Amino acid sequence: MILTIIIVSSAKNKQLEEMTQQAINTASFKNNISKEIIVVESENVQYDNVNIKLSSNNLSLNYNRFLNMGIEKSSGDFIALCNNDLFFYENWDEEIISVMLKNNILSASPYNSKPRLINDNDKIVFGYQIFEVLCGWCIVANREVIKKIKKLNESVEFWYSDNLYSAQIQKHNIKHALIKTSFVKHLLSQTFRTLNKELQQKYTDDQKQIFDNIKI
């Protein structure tokens, strides 16, 4: 069993570089899951504990395109599609993959929380609600998902990339689940926050307009 973890990064400063390295280090925790770490990076920085580093330096920003670059190089039975602003808690991967296998779930997200007790009835939440159930900052997909959808839709640059993924898997009748016993902390769009608020708003509005006119 191999899990490929693809991390998209744009380490424009030392703080962002250290954040990406933290994501890599916590994702690399050794347990019964063999891991392959792929980083798609736009800056000229080097990381420890990485199997493959791909450069997106000469390419225009497109989150799903960068993930597709990593997917093309991946060898895992499961593929984690990840932001760089994450802290992976111990055994998050064993838990999410175990639940996926036991329940025949092909697509899932971990829970954005510190480890805590979860009632059995709340362990798995099915749905496609963005940010609540389908968390674009970390999606774990069985390789079968990629075989069915072929590749991630690249019609938007960053915002609404997860909406596109949701539309793609729904088209192929693939269920998605939030696994609330797998814990990954999301630090909330640290790279995006390096842009001024006016540019953030314009960028978000532009991407929504593009998404609203896409037919999957």
Each residue of 56-75: pLDDT tens digit?
Answer: 988 888 999 999 999 999 99
Does 211 have pLDDT greater than 60? no
Does 111 have pLDDT greater than 80? yes
Q: Which residues contact 101 (CB under 8 A, 6 or more apart)?
A: none
* Residue linked to tokens 């973890």: 5
What's the structural domain count of the chain?
1
pTM of the model: 0.88
Instruction: With H, G, I as helix, E, B as strand and everything else as coil, classify residue 175.
Output: coil
Indicate the pLDDT class of residue 102, thresholds 50, 70 and 90. very high
Q: Take residue 157 and report the two structure tokens written for it.
A: 């640059």
Q: Which domain holds residue 63?
A: 2-212
For 160-170, write each residue's pLDDT tens digit: 899 999 999 99
- Per DSSP, the residues of the chain read -EEEEEEEE---SHHHHHHHHHHHHHHT--SSSEEEEEEEESSS---SS-SEEEE-TTS---HHHHHHHHHHH---SEEEEE-SSEEEPTTHHHHHHHHHHHTT-SEEEEESS------GGGSEEE---BTTTB-TTEEEEEHHHHHHH-S---SSSSTTHHHHHHHHHHHTT--EEEEEEEEEEE---TTGGGS-HHHHHHHHHHHHHHHHT---
Higher pLDDT residue, 203 or 92? 92
Average pLDDT, stretch 136-163? 94
Q: Could you give the CA distance from residue 6 to residue 138 in angstroms, rounded to a whole number?
A: 10
Q: Take residue 189 and report the two structure tokens written for it.
A: 């769009």
Instruction: Give Rg (Cα) of the chain.
Output: 16
Does 119 have pLDDT greater than 90? no
Question: Contact at 8 Å (CB) between 53 and 24?
Answer: no
pLDDT for the residue 116: 72
Question: Contact at 8 Å (CB) between 9 and 70?
Answer: no
Residue 165: CATH number of its domain: 3.90.550.10
